[in-house]
Amino acid sequence: MNSTISSNQRCRIAVDAMGGDYAPLNAVLGAVEAYNHSDSFDLLLVGKETEIKKVISENNLDFNSENIINADEVIEMGESPASSLKTKKKSSIVIGAQLVRDKNSDAFVSAGNTGAMMAASTLITGRIKSVGRPTIGAEMPNVNGICYLYDVGSSKDSKPVHLFEYAVMGSIFAKEMGGIINPKIGVLSMGEEEGKGNEVSEAASRLLKQTKLNFIGNVEGRDILAGEVDVIVCDGYVGNVLLKFGEAVPKLLKYLLKQTADTNFLDKLKIGITKGTLKKALKSLDYQEYGGVPLLGINGISIIGHGSSTPKAFKNMVLRADEMYQKNLVQKLTNSIIEYSNQIDKAEING
């Protein structure tokens, strides 16, 4: 057996130890726990070596310091993504993206500056050939489990061909990672009839209709939660607004509940029970369970975490990166984009 192929079969996952509000503690704790939990991948920790070593020793972690990749700089949360990539070439985000570009790692996971991570993945690691725009999705709960919404990653002013790409990549992700056979795909719109979308969404529908994807047409805002469609595509501006609106709902509920409480004991008791039950019911919305979201369309695995990621969230992000590697997701996305693009009239893609 060829030794090069053999060594490539074991997944290598680089984790940005400097990313997130509690860096490097949470990143190191979570990543090393995932590493100890599984023997299918190698782990690289990217960041300030002395700080990483300190966390390892203080927490008595079992981790070989040869697998620390030193990065002297950190791109802070508030920094401009575009300029920080240029000015901080020794940052953990730049070095992590380079590791994947140079095939020294298969995946890069970071809970650092989201914009910088997206830019580094796109510009340094690079896109899959024939993907115009990489995309981030959100897993929205519904009565059947999950609906995948693409794009929520601020990819604004998308063109119809981008929505087509989101549909292809979202469909592959829902199938491979969500276990949904032949996912139903819809384009977000104001009504189910044709013509109820905007210019871009209607043009995207015309592209999707030409493919062999399981495209069901226009879907509405309520369908995100209704469970009749598996993958919904929209412009990143719309998806981002929806996602943030949805995230704010539990807080409003809590407030409204408080408002209904009269002064009597029984009402207060009821509110207490309601809060507890709701918390349990909303557990499926907890980001820690899935950890972070992959940026699809990158020529490698790129996973972006929430700034406030806990060790558990980091652990789940690393395990997800490993699963994406084991399922050969990047290759499948590459093949699918080519396959479905070939089913479309080329003049219409560019038009």
- Point out which residues bind a copy of itself (CB under 8 A): 141-143, 154, 156-157, 188-191, 196-199, 201, 220-222, 224-226, 234-238, 240-249, 251-253, 255-257, 259-260, 270-271, 273-274, 276-278, 280-282, 284
Instruction: Pick the closer one to a copy of itself by CB: 46 or 243.
Output: 243
Instruction: Pick the closer one to a copy of itself by CB: 178 or 221.
Output: 221
Task: Please report how close the Cβ of residue 312 comes to a copy of itself at its closest, in angstroms.
Answer: 21
Task: Please report how close the Cβ of residue 239 comes to a copy of itself at its closest, in angstroms.
Answer: 9
What's the rounded Cα separation, in Å, for the pair 76 and 94? 13
Here the contacts of 331-337 (C-beta below 8 Å, separation 24 or greater) are: 332/172, 332/176, 333/128, 333/131, 333/168, 333/169, 333/172, 333/296, 333/297, 334/128, 334/129, 334/299, 336/168, 336/169, 336/171, 336/172, 337/128, 337/130, 337/131, 337/165, 337/168, 337/169
Instruction: Pick the closer one to a copy of itself by CB: 219 or 330.
Output: 219
Task: Please report how close the Cβ of residue 83 comes to a copy of itself at its closest, in angstroms.
Answer: 13
Instruction: Pick the closer one to a copy of itself by CB: 34 or 238.
Output: 238
3-state secondary structure of 50: helix
- Neighbour-count burial of 134, counting CB atoms closer than 10 A to its CB (0-12 exposed, 13-18 middle, 19+ buried): buried
Task: Please report how close the Cβ of residue 268 comes to a copy of itself at its closest, in angstroms.
Answer: 11
Instruction: Pick the closer one to a copy of itself by CB: 125 or 155.
Output: 155
What's the rounded Cα separation, in Å, for the pair 83 and 162? 25
Instruction: Pick the closer one to a copy of itself by CB: 284 or 326.
Output: 284
What's the rounded Cα separation, in Å, for the pair 234 and 247? 18
What's the rounded Cα separation, in Å, for the pair 28 and 45? 7
What's the rounded Cα separation, in Å, for the pair 305 and 237? 19
Q: What residues contact residue 190 under an 8 Å CB cut-off, 6+ apart? A: 196, 197, 220
- Neighbour-count burial of 281, counting CB atoms closer than 10 A to its CB (0-12 exposed, 13-18 middle, 19+ buried): exposed
Here the tokens at position 91 are: 């940052």
- For residue 73, the cross-strand partners are 91
- For residue 187, the cross-strand partners are 218, 233
For 157, half-sphere exposure in the C-beta direction (CA atoms, 13 angstrom radius) is 0
Task: Please report how close the Cβ of residue 220 comes to a copy of itself at its closest, in angstroms.
Answer: 5
Instruction: Pick the closer one to a copy of itself by CB: 191 or 351.
Output: 191
Task: Please report how close the Cβ of residue 143 comes to a copy of itself at its closest, in angstroms.
Answer: 5
Instruction: Pick the closer one to a copy of itself by CB: 92 or 155.
Output: 155
- For residue 175, the cross-strand partners are none
Task: Please report how close the Cβ of residue 280 comes to a copy of itself at its closest, in angstroms.
Answer: 5
Instruction: Pick the closer one to a copy of itself by CB: 58 or 247.
Output: 247
Task: Please report how close the Cβ of residue 217 comes to a copy of itself at its closest, in angstroms.
Answer: 15
Task: Please report how close the Cβ of residue 187 comes to a copy of itself at its closest, in angstroms.
Answer: 11
What's the rounded Cα separation, in Å, for the pair 339 and 177? 20
